[in-house]
């Protein structure tokens, strides 16, 4: 069986490993995401020791993912200092000489959950991560959704909770979903990071989060008609949050389209925990190898 390299690149940290499934990951390495030369170089060096047959990269973005585009594999304009315009996939291809699969971190996580986690057996899912930012990836027919760019679910508009006085923290849109429901939005509203919330502040944060995230799930139901929505990321670990979103969804849908599947078990947490992204890298590596062949 082919041994693949998998890479999960975030704005804060980057992880890599080798294996064939989430159950046999080895040679794992996690490092801070610093400048591109240092970060990519250390990961390539780590993977090169085992000579993988292909490598899959699930990366923060935004990325140019249009096949045939002259900037394919490059980072587009990103708030991560020093990364705008960086060729993400090229150094791996040149340094390892193997097929390289590349997609966004959230599409990678969606692929991992579809293959081994909470999306197994389904043809269409949405994976959303709620943390420092909010991002979402969609699989339709088992393949990631791409177009002119890639989905940016964190920047959809939502109606404000009537008791929310926080103005919104998105530097682009103010009170978009990310501006109202990301980790920094929680900290801006309550004065402490999500993991430090207690008592009334914790209850209020969960109520606001559920109110905003349920609207996002409603929009995904109407636009993409997925069979399941998976919510991960650090903020999703607030106690009872994901269940609360699932409980509110039928009311947000207001009886339309009236499918019983939306009543229970439609909004869930990741089945792979923190391994969704690395698992997705394995799927991307396999796809790249098949395409190369």
Q: Rounded to 5 degrees, what angle do the CA atoms 112, 116, 118 make?
A: 85
Q: Is the pTM of this model over 0.75?
A: yes
Q: What is the pLDDT of residue 149?
A: 77
Residue 148, pLDDT score: 83
Per-residue pLDDT at 123 exceeds 70: yes
Assigned token pair, 212: 């905003």
pLDDT value of position 97? 97
CATH homologous superfamily of 118-268 equals ATPase, nucleotide binding domain (3.30.420.40)
Domain 4-105+273-292 shares a fold with domain 118-268? yes
pLDDT of res. 142:
82
Structure tokens given for 208: 């606001």
Domain residues of the chain, as ranges? 4-105+273-292, 118-268
Kindly report the average pLDDT of the chain as a whole number: 95
Over residues 162-220, the pLDDT tens digits come to 999 999 999 889 999 999 999 999 999 999 999 999 999 999 999 999 999 999 999 99
Q: What are the distances in angstroms from CA 154 to CA 142, 173, 175, 234?
A: 22, 11, 11, 15
Domain 4-105+273-292: top CATH class: alpha beta
Residues β-bridged to residue 13: 32
Tens digit of pLDDT for each residue in 260-275?
A: 999 999 999 999 999 9
Question: pLDDT grade, residue 293 (50/70/90)?
Answer: low
SS3 for 32? strand
| pLDDT above 70: residue 124 | yes
pLDDT tens-place string over residues 129-157: 999 899 999 999 889 998 887 888 999 99
Q: Tell me: the pLDDT tens digits for 273-290?
A: 999 999 999 999 999 999
Residues 52 and 44 sit within 8 Å (Cβ to Cβ): no
Q: pLDDT tens digits, residue range 24-48? A: 999 999 999 999 999 999 999 999 9
């Amino acid at each position: 069986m082919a041994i693949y390299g998998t890479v999960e690149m975030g704005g804060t940290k980057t992880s890599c490993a080798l294996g064939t499934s989430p159950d046999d990951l080895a040679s794992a390495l996690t490092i801070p995401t610093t400048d591109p030369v240092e970060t990519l170089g250390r990961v390539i060096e780590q993977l090169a020791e085992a000579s993988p047959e292909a490598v899959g990269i699930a990366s923060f973005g935004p990325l140019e993912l249009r096949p045939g585009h002259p900037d394919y594999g490059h980072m587009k304009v990103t708030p991560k200092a020093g990364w705008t315009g960086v060729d993400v996939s090229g150094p791996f291809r040149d340094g390892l000489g193997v097929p390289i699969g590349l997609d966004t971190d959230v599409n990678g996580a969606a692929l991992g959950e579809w293959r081994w986690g909470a999306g197994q057996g389904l043809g269409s899912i949405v994976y959303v991560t709620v943390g420092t930012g909010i991002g979402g990836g969609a699989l339709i027919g088992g393949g990631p959704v791409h177009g002119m760019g890639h989905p940016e679910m964190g920047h959809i508009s939502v109606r404000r909770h009537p008791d929310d006085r926080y103005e919104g923290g998105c530097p682009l849109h103010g009170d978009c979903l990310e501006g109202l429901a990301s980790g920094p939005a929680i900290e801006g509203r309550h004065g402490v990071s999500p993991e430090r919330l207690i008592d009334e502040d914790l209850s209020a944060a969960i109520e606001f989060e559920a109110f905003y995230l349920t609207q996002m799930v409603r929009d995904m139901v109407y636009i993409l008609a997925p069979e399941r929505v998976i919510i991960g990321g650090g903020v999703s670990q607030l106690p009872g949050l994901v269940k609360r979103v699932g409980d509110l969804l039928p009311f947000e849908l207001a009886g339309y389209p009236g499918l019983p599947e939306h009543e229970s078990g439609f909004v869930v947490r990741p089945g792979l925990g923190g391994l969704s992204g690395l698992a997705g890298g394995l799927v991307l590596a396999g796809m790249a190898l098949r395409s190369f062949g």
